[in-house]
Structure 1
Amino acid sequence: MDTRIIIKFLITGIIILTLFFSCKSGSKYTDLDHYHGIDFPKKPSKKKDKEGELKFWINNYKQEVFYYCLFENYQNDSIMKMMGKEDLFNPNDYIPMPFWEKMKTLGKNAIQHMPENKYFIETEEDKKKKYISKTCLDYFASRELDSIAKNEYKIFKKMKYYGD
């Protein structure tokens, strides 16, 4: 009976040690798609890190579409004005002007896929509420926007004023 307990203890210990040493620590992200706390991702050097530049550009493009989605769908509401007093929104000025109109249109059109408010209707005021922020976040995380941003990056790389 003591042998079985010792064998179970050893097997359990081996499993725990295997899990412990095989798990990767997630404390320091290097991917630009993850939240970095107070450290904003820096623009990578073009010559050293082409993949990092692509991810940086795509992430900025998607962030801009997200903000356009909020701005266009709240339509100069006082909440957006209040946020503008305190929030710098996207700290990067990396996407050139020729892309702004398309990003604005994408943000505005994202709301077309907004689910109806069928739940949480307790008052007449609740009937007017929409899932604006959820819809904008869902679109930000979508494969569709990833694909659009990658295609826009290819156009960006071909532009004459892009210095490589």
Structure 2
Amino acid sequence: MEQFHVTNSVALLPMTVYNVGLALGPIFGALSESYGRQIMYIASITGALVFTVVGAWTTTFYVIVLTRFLTSLCGAPMITVAMGTLNDVWDAKVSRVGAILNFLLTSIAIWGTEIGSPIGPRLEVDIPKHCNLVFNLRFGLAVSRDARNRDHPP
């Protein structure tokens, strides 16, 4: 709030538009029935990562609002069918990575959205905001690289 010189109400705008994106994003997840899950979700992860990076280094409040919306809009299709997404990329019965990611994605999608908002503001951490987003970027790139290196059924 102090960095961007906004009021308490306006400071909630990035979280609000993020939730709107999460509500609208599953509409695009339905396109996976026409174009295939793997293509749809790799495009989603790419979009989410790009907007995460842009949001990490912006210095303008309204660009943060826009990138939060676009990040959630791109990421929501992956959350809505998390198990289907991971099962298309990894065989959880064969791949330990697939089993771990099935657990993590499901846990994060459920717990992160439910307990993250009330707990997050109470945590006072003196690290730059882009550090968390850079971690997300590195994790996403590692997952994408692993997905590209595997043989997938059509």
TM-score of the pair, normalised by structure 1: 0.30
Q: Which has the larger radius of gyration?
A: 1
TM-score of the pair, normalised by structure 2: 0.31
